[in-house]
Amino acid sequence: MAAPRRPIVRAAAVATAAALGASALTLPAFAADEPAAASPKAPPVYSVVDGTLDWGLKESFRNYVVTMAAGKITTTGGAQQAPRNGVFTFGGAEGTYDLGNHALKTAFKGGVRFTSTAHRFDITIADVKVRTQGRTGAIQADVTLNGTKQNDVDFATLDLNGIQPGHGEGGAVTYKDIPAKLTAKGAKAFNGMYREGEVLDPATLTVKPGAPVPGPDPKPTPSTPTKPKPKPKPEPKPTPSTPAKPKKVVGGKMAWGMKESFRRYVSTGGKITTAGGAKKNSGGFDFPYAKAKWNASAKTVDASFGGSVRFRYQAHGIDMTFSDLRVKASGKKGTLYADVKAQGRTRDDVKFATLDLSRVSYAAKNDVVLLSKVPAKFTAAGAKQFANGTVGSIYKAGDPIDPVTVALTLSDRAKVPSAAAVPSGSTGSSGSGASGTGGDAVPAGSVGGGGSVGGGGSVGDGGTGALAETGSDAPSGALLGVAGAVIAAGAGAVYAARRRGPGHGVPGVTPAP
């Protein structure tokens, strides 16, 4: 009965080692059923004889190709696409798993091609490979853009933290929904349509381990004698102290950019203005402190902020204002509330986004409580604010938006760190900056030169159609040629939506979220 169990035992060992990077869990598993594999002369590499990669690249891009771009998606070489414009399956996996460094290398057959005559692009992804080592990995592929081919592009990074392997028929091992993000080279392969770090569709990897790959016999490693552990010293008794009086919040601010792709989209021909003390920073906007409660021991914050930001794009029917922002946090979770005005109608206290506070500290340092670069995602109610009466919202619950930074001061002398003014995902000082003197209009997608520009400047009045600076190496003409408006793919769909029915416009069928 031992022989039929060997592929399953081997698969379990490979899965455990790849996900956890722990040889202590791997070698005993092999030794339990295959004594030769546990010996000093056992080959450390096992073959991968079959498997699949299920990956959709980026859902919003697929939707854009078949709707706004009026294009086609075709698979070749045995790759398949799920119904209703679903994800792609690349099969025929071949490769190896190295027990020595817990490295998985697999290659898959097939490719996928995205074409649009209207928007003048032809992109092919083929020869897909997956590399993992421990808790990290990457998706590699050959990318052909409008006839120019780049081989073995490190297209996406993979994060295996928390991914638990499952087991299937014949000893197959499955890693489901591995988070993936676009690399700098992947963004360049798409001619700057998306930026480095943007979230891609999760990947599901299934592999079937085979027989050991013969290799040189490893030399036995001499064992090191174990040293006796020193006895622990008794801990000193704590000295009773007088509890300090809790401090109250006296000031602060909130930094947030709403959603970078939306700002860039509006900047192509619209205007963004701030009011009520809100100001532009290099990655979004600063909102002034209104009131707040903070409890470090209970890990709670309830903070409200003044000011407002208004997005107007007359040609595409957009007029939205966000104000009266409030962050309510407790432990690892939180909610961002906002008043949202669209086309003259205001919805108060909208539960706009969920907040992930698992990596922040509620403790004060130098009389400053800093919740820095807190990841945020649309709630269902938040995504609904962008709905058009005809086509609905292009966003959905769970879509990532710009992170939120909250800084609260506990004394008049406390200073908010300058880093608190720059949300994660901003372009920092890499760009040239843009400023003006007329009112408080600000360029939505400008690349700041660092720091706040106060009242800000202005980008267009809806009539110029000028493309805001993006920080991409590609010229703006090339970007527009690839996707019609690649900085926010789908801008033209808003115009189409306005022609079909009433309601405030939103950016396309699916812009780059």
Shared domain for 269 and 147, answered yes or no, is no
457 vs 89 pLDDT, higher one: 89
Judged against a pLDDT cut of 70, whether residue 451 lies above it is answered with no
Q: What average pLDDT does the segment 63-75 reach?
A: 92
Provide the domain limits for residue 408: 251-500
Q: Where are the beta strands (DSSP E) in 282-332?
A: 284-295, 300-313, 318-330
pLDDT digits (tens, 9 = 90+) for 249-288: 999 999 999 999 999 889 889 999 999 999 999 889 999 9
Shared domain for 256 and 136, answered yes or no, is no
338 vs 134 pLDDT, higher one: 338
pLDDT of residue 417: 75
Q: What is the DSSP letter of 9?
A: H
Summarize the chain as % helix, strand, coil (round to 5).
Answer: 20, 40, 40
pLDDT digits (tens, 9 = 90+) for 213-254: 776 555 666 666 677 777 777 776 766 655 566 789 999 999
Shared domain for 52 and 112, answered yes or no, is yes
| Contacts by 377-381, CB closer than 8 A, 24 or more apart | 377/353, 377/401, 378/352, 378/353, 379/335, 379/351, 379/352, 379/353, 379/354, 381/350, 381/351, 381/352
Shared domain for 272 and 187, answered yes or no, is no
Domain assignment present for 184: yes
Domain assignment present for 228: no
Judged against a pLDDT cut of 60, whether residue 443 lies above it is answered with no
Shared domain for 149 and 262, answered yes or no, is no
What pTM did the predictor assign?
Answer: 0.44
Residue that is last in its domain, among 213, 236, 264 = 213
428 vs 161 pLDDT, higher one: 161
Shared domain for 209 and 336, answered yes or no, is no
Q: What average pLDDT does the segment 14-38 reach?
A: 38
Judged against a pLDDT cut of 50, whether residue 22 lies above it is answered with no
117 vs 496 pLDDT, higher one: 117
Residue that is last in its domain, among 191, 213, 235 = 213
Q: How far apart are CA 266 and CA 488, in angstroms?
A: 9
Q: Is 366 left (phi over 0), alpha (psi -120 to 50) or beta?
A: left
> How many CB atoms are closer than 10 A to CB 35?
10
Q: How far apart are CA 345 and CA 21, in angstroms?
A: 54
Shared domain for 297 and 413, answered yes or no, is yes
Q: What average pLDDT does the segment 1-13 reach?
A: 49
* Residue 115 confidence class, pLDDT cut points 50, 70, 90: very high
Domain assignment present for 238: no
Judged against a pLDDT cut of 90, whether residue 15 lies above it is answered with no
Q: How far apart are CA 402 and CA 375, in angstroms?
A: 7
Domain assignment present for 189: yes
CA dihedral 175, 179, 185, 190 (to 10 degrees): 100
Shared domain for 176 and 266, answered yes or no, is no
Domain assignment present for 194: yes
Is residue 295 within 8 Å of residue 254, measured between CB atoms?
A: no
pLDDT digits (tens, 9 = 90+) for 370-408: 999 999 999 999 999 988 766 678 889 999 999 999 999
Shared domain for 305 and 197, answered yes or no, is no
Judged against a pLDDT cut of 70, whether residue 18 lies above it is answered with no
Domain assignment present for 507: no
3-class DSSP assignment, residue 172:
coil
Q: Is the dihedral of CA 116, 395, 177, 102 positive or negative?
A: positive
Shared domain for 292 and 169, answered yes or no, is no
| Non-local CB neighbours of 115 within 8 Å, separated by 6+ positions | 71, 72, 74, 121, 122, 123
Strand partners for 81:
88
> Tokens 């890499």 correspond to what residue?
430
Shared domain for 342 and 202, answered yes or no, is no
pLDDT digits (tens, 9 = 90+) for 283-327: 899 999 999 999 999 999 999 999 999 999 988 888 999 999 999
pLDDT of residue 315: 83
Number of domains in the chain: 2
3-class DSSP assignment, residue 8:
helix
Domain assignment present for 505: no
Q: pLDDT averaged over the chain? A: 75
Judged against a pLDDT cut of 80, whether residue 470 lies above it is answered with no
Concatenate the DSSP letters of all residues of 394-405 into one string.
S--TT-EEEEEE
| Percent of the chain residues past pLDDT 70, beyond the cut | 68
pLDDT digits (tens, 9 = 90+) for 155-203: 999 999 988 888 877 778 898 999 999 999 888 877 677 889 999 999 9
pLDDT digits (tens, 9 = 90+) for 117-129: 988 889 999 999 9
pLDDT of residue 56: 94
pLDDT of residue 108: 95
3-class DSSP assignment, residue 505:
coil
Strand partners for 218:
none
Q: Is the dihedral of CA 12, 164, 126, 106 positive or negative?
A: negative
Q: Where are the beta strands (DSSP E) in 103-147?
A: 103-109, 111-116, 121-133, 136-145
Domain assignment present for 235: no
| Contacts by 331-337, CB closer than 8 A, 24 or more apart | 331/299, 331/300, 331/357, 332/356, 332/357, 332/358, 333/357, 334/301, 334/374, 335/379, 336/256, 336/376, 336/404
Residue that is last in its domain, among 213, 238, 263 = 213
pLDDT of residue 362: 95
Q: What average pLDDT does the segment 345-374 reach?
A: 94
Shared domain for 147 and 94, answered yes or no, is yes
pLDDT of residue 190: 73
pLDDT of residue 345: 84
Q: Where are the beta strands (DSSP E) in 146-249?
A: 148-159, 166-167, 173-182, 199-213
